[in-house]
């Protein structure tokens, strides 16, 4: 004999449990008992998708200021960027390491041979006592692809750089790269299409279920950044100047000014 459900329970259906992902990628568990249907949020296994911003500079003053307000998740450098920092390599990297804390630090390897790239990356890790937040930037040359595999086997994170085509990125991810960095402005400057290359790589990652992420790089305009984020780029590394520009709008400044004017003589609470 089936026990009667209390009037408030709704009652009726056979007992069952089903689990599914909702549109925000939260795991939802639905328990249906003969008397009640309960919907539970079990846990959030996947970080909600959002674009990671990184600073493409080694200037410690710029970084200090940016880190005081911008939600950055890391810093990227290359020898050109480091040469503008006004410091020797060790001082720059040490300063960056201090500022980013547990954030990511992506450093370009400059060796030509794969074994030397690997040695260089290992040296950075030991010299600066980096943990998992260190990423060895490796160019997509034959030696680079070889080095990527060795680095991944050694447990070192890899960011594939100097990418100009979707195929270079795809091969880099197959070689184990965690991030792939297409150079948007440099593509645009040779009458190619940086945003399209970014979009194609994003599409490949989704189509093939790859675990790599796009780190769009080499920007000269805020519009390029807007477009790569709309193309679904997982991350972007951006100069200090453009990071400042992309949050600016004259109408925001006018709006804030007007609030100040309208508040005059009105507020009788001391904040
Ligand atoms: C970052 O990883 C790249 O090295 C950088 O964004 C290249 O920028 P550039 O094309 O302005 O030199």
Average pLDDT, the chain: 89
Catalytic residue among 29, 36, 40, 137: 137
Low-confidence ranges of the chain (pLDDT < 70): 1-34, 36-48
| CB of residue 217 inside a 6 A radius of ligand 1 | yes
Do 29 and 17 meet the contact criterion of CB atoms below 8 Å apart?
yes
| CB of residue 85 inside a 6 A radius of ligand 1 | no
Pocket test for ligand 1, best of 54, 79, 81 (most atoms within 8 A of CB): 81
**pLDDT of the residue at 9:** 46
- Please name which of 138, 145, 143 lies closest in space to residue 167, comparing C-alpha atoms: 145
**pLDDT of the residue at 11:** 43
Interval between CA 9 and ligand 1 midpoint (Å): 61
The predicted-structure confidence for 13-70, as pLDDT tens digits, reads as follows 466 665 544 434 444 555 666 676 666 555 444 444 789 999 999 999 999 999 999 9
**pLDDT of the residue at 109:** 98
pTM: 0.82
Tell me whether residue 220 is one of the annotated catalytic residues. no
- Please name which of 103, 56, 63, 100 lies closest in space to residue 80, comparing C-alpha atoms: 56
**Closest ligand 1 atom to 159 CA:** 2
Residue identifier of the C-alpha nearest atom 6 of ligand 1: 218
**pLDDT of the residue at 150:** 98
Residue identifier of the C-alpha nearest atom 9 of ligand 1: 218
| CB of residue 185 inside a 6 A radius of ligand 1 | yes
**pLDDT of the residue at 4:** 56
| CB of residue 76 inside a 6 A radius of ligand 1 | yes
Q: Percent of the chain scored above 90 by pLDDT?
A: 80
Residue identifier of the C-alpha nearest atom 1 of ligand 1: 217
Residue identifier of the C-alpha nearest atom 4 of ligand 1: 78
């Amino acid at each position: 004999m089936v026990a009667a459900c209390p009037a408030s329970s709704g009652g009726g259906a056979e007992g069952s449990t089903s689990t599914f992902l909702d549109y925000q990628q939260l795991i939802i568990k639905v328990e249906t008992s003969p008397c009640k249907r309960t919907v539970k949020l079990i846990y959030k296994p996947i970080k909600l998708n959002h674009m990671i911003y990184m600073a493409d500079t080694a200037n410690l003053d710029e970084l200090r200021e940016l880190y005081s307000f911008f939600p950055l998740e890391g810093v990227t450098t290359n020898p050109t960027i480091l040469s503008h920092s006004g410091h020797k390599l060790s001082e720059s990297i040490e300063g960056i390491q201090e500022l980013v804390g547990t954030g990511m630090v992506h450093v370009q390897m400059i060796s030509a041979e794969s074994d030397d790239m690997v040695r260089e990356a290992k040296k950075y890790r030991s010299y600066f006592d980096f943990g998992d937040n260190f990423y060895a930037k490796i160019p997509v040359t034959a030696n680079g692809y070889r080095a990527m595999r060795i680095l991944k086997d050694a447990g070192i994170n890899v960011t594939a750089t100097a990418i100009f085509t979707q195929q270079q990125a795809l091969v880099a991810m197959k070689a184990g790269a965690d991030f792939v960095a297409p150079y948007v402005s440099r593509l645009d400057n040779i009458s190619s299409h940086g945003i399209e290359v970014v979009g194609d790589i994003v599409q490949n990652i989704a189509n093939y279920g790859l675990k790599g992420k796009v780190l769009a790089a080499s920007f000269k305009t805020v519009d390029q950044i807007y477009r790569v984020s709309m193309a679904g780029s997982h991350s972007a590394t951006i100069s200090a100047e453009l990071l400042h520009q992309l949050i600016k709008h004259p109408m925001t400044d006018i709006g804030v000014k007007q609030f100040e004017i309208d508040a005059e003589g009105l507020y009788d609470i001391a904040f």
